[in-house]
Chain A
Amino acid sequence: MLAEQLINGITLGSIYAVVALGYTLVFGVLDIINMAHGEIFMFGAFVGMLIVTKAQAPLWAGFLGAILATAAMGYLLERFALRPLRGRTGGSPLAPLISTIGVSILLENIAHKIFGAGNQLFETPFAEIRFEIGPITVYLVQVAILAISLLLMAGLSLWLRKTNAGKALRATAENLETAALLGVNTTGIITATVVIASAMGGVAGVLVGMAFNYINNQMGLAMGLKGLAIIIFGGMGSVAGAVAGGLILGLSETLVVAYGSSGYRDAIAFAAIIVVLLLRPQGLFGQAPPEMQR
């Protein structure tokens, strides 16, 4: 059972990691927590479901559709909920956060109106394919989820470190004004960041549909809160932190159920997060607060 539970945990952890990556990107560049990220992820799942299950299209089309839809939502979020508040003097620094909370409530209710409450089936064409390695059963879906998540994390990491656009993003994250002075198109970078982060949320949504087969319009909230906890735990703004935090949370939740009592699953996972934060407030991979303010 241990091997199968480990696979469960890693599958879950990969999905958490992809969601957390979306949060950490936005936080790193904009210094805000995008509370609408969970709902965008949920919309990605529904768009994927419509394409894959309702229209019987292949899985890559589902991913494409989800990415396009959530990227568009990310753009709208940045353009109409975040940009107008930037640079407004006299406003509370929490205004963008509240704005994203408003968007998340709006999105949840729109989803309720369009898709109805209750679970909807997300059927992947190859859901039944599995391999037997000795006494362990591994599903192709689980392998696919892990592969896609790793690809995404590696791709993002590479993009941030090696490409010029990635460098520009990191520069903007480090200091907005200086980057602007040095000729970086900060407005474009910020828009790109939110779009990419939302697209990752969309991918995670389709992954969740593949993994659990059922989606509903409430899952944005739960996943969003977990994603938040993960980035705080892993270090806000750190890509490695999001990945590590996601995997650790997924594994700990699964192993607590497997070897402890399933009633304490969330309690133990979050208690562990509290302990780590008490010992290391900036999170696992986070940087200690710099002397200079942004």
Chain B
Amino acid sequence: MSRMIRFAGLISILAFALLFMGAAKDAPKAAAPAKPKGPAIPAKIGVISIITGQGSGYGEAITNGFKLARDEINAKNEVSIELVVADSSGKQEQALAAAQKLINSDRVVAILGPTLSTEMKVVAPEANASGVPIMGTSTTAAGITQIGKFVFRNSLPESLAIPASVKKTVKKYNLRKVALFYGNDDVFTKSGFDTMKKVAEELKLSIVTIETFQKGQSDYKAQLTKIKALNPDAVFCSALYEEGAVILSQARKMGIKVPFVGGNGFNSPKVIDIAKEAAEGLIVATPWYPERNDPKVKAFVARYDKAYGKKPDQFAAQAYDALYIMAEALKKAGKADRQKLRDALAGVRNFNGVLGKFSFDADRDVVMDPVVLTIKGGKFQMFQ
């Protein structure tokens, strides 16, 4: 009798597994685009983003940027882009599984994303080996595009952004000694820290201490008490917004009043949402300045606000430009062919987007100038 039960159990487990696989296959897909008339180049582009989980603030902005760009691009009828969106939840294994599904099952011509450098480090080699061009729109750690010739990015790397923000802060506040605080369990935050340390040493600043934390931590009191006791002139912090906002809040509550310079993770308005007044005075470098006196920028901000009810942040803007760059490359390539698209992408020079002028360098990395912003009055403003 128990044998029958075991067999029945096995069959039901198999049935459940098949059911779930089927459900997973119908994972969120973007709505079908408008029907094109005439010879618009059709293309399926995969998107790996953090839709649920920690960091979904980045993912939401990025996906919104893509969708807005897709609707505008398809309306012009030169290319017809279908976005296939997959959720990575910020986890490497899930991102990799999503990539494999997009490459092999959905047969996309290119992949946009994933969101985190940590995820990119496992997904990019897979895409590169399969000959699928992959472009990061928010991955700013060092060494990403060096993974292979199919790997691109349009997100300003930390190695360009941090020297800008640090140099301006040093000049304004006459910094001499600084504390460094970074997450040692994430590729991006670690890479940001390496750059911060390098710049601090180049500028002959004295580093009073280097403290670390891990993702998901709630309590930074011990590290912050240590930093406070050593009395630095500023704190350089390399973190994603979940941890970064809590660090800012606890630091200010504890009476640490010196300026904080943040890496790319702090460029999300989620920092202001979570940390509230504690975010005042934070200094960051970013390629995106929404108040720029440029008609393209103003039009984009207005359209995004109308579609989503809030102003676009850096991540939305980079995603928006990224899809436009893809569309340009598709037009040059003539058809949705992976190799042809890759070659066309590599040749993109002086593209004029909402982030300004953009080119890929020889390593398919970004050539762009950052602006240095600070949080004042609850929003990002120019840092004078």
Contacts and interface: CB of A to CB of B under 8 A. Distances in A.
A282 interface: no
B242 A257 contact: no
Nearest to B276: A121
Nearest to B215: A218
Contacts of B242: 118-119, 216
Interface string A248-267: 00000110011001110110
A211 B216 contact: no
Nearest to B275: A121
B97 to A, nearest CB: 19
Contacts of A265: 222
A258 B216 contact: no
B274 A257 contact: no
Interface stretch (B52-60, B109-117, B326-334): B52-60
B221 A8 contact: yes
A119 B245 contact: yes
B255 A137 contact: yes
Interface residues of A, number: 35
Given A117-B56, A137-B255, A262-B211, A214 B274 contact: yes
A219 B226 contact: no
B52 A213 contact: no
A214 B218 CA distance: 7
A18 interface: no
Interface in A61-117: 112, 116-117
Contacts of A121: 274, 276
A29 interface: no
Residue of B54, B213, B221 most packed against chain A (CB within 10 A): B221
Say whether chain A's binding surface is mostly helix, strand, loop, or mixed. helix
A28 to B, nearest CB: 28
Interface string A125-137: 0011000000001
Contact of B216 (A112, A213, A216, A253): A216
B352 interface: no
Contacts of B225: 1, 4-5, 8, 258
A12 interface: yes
A253 B218 contact: no
Contacts, number: 85
Nearest to B216: A218
B223 interface: yes
Say whether chain B's binding surface is mostly helix, strand, loop, or mixed. helix
Contact of A127 (B184, B218, B246, B253): B253
B249 interface: yes
B94 interface: no
Contacts of A119: 242, 245-246, 274
A181 interface: no
A219 B54 contact: no
A222 B249 CA distance: 21
Interface in B99-153: none
Contacts of B56: 116-118
Contacts of B255: 137
B223 A257 contact: yes
A208 interface: yes
Nearest to B226: A258
Contact of B54 (A12, A218, A262): A218
Nearest to A1: B229
Interface in A1-44: 1, 4-5, 8-9, 11-12
A116 B270 CA distance: 14
B92 interface: no
B250 interface: yes
Nearest to B221: A8
A212 interface: yes
A12 B219 CA distance: 9
B12 interface: no
B222 A117 contact: no
A212 B53 CA distance: 21
Contacts of A117: 52-54, 56
A211 B55 CA distance: 23
Interface in B199-236: 211-214, 216, 218-219, 221-223, 225-226, 229
5 contacts: A1-B229, A8-B222, A9-B222, A117-B54, A119-B245
Interface of B: 52-57, 184, 211-214, 216, 218-219, 221-223, 225-226, 229, 242, 245-246, 249-250, 253, 255, 270, 274, 276
Closest 5 pairs (CB-CB, A-B) = A257-B222, A1-B229, A212-B218, A263-B212, A254-B222
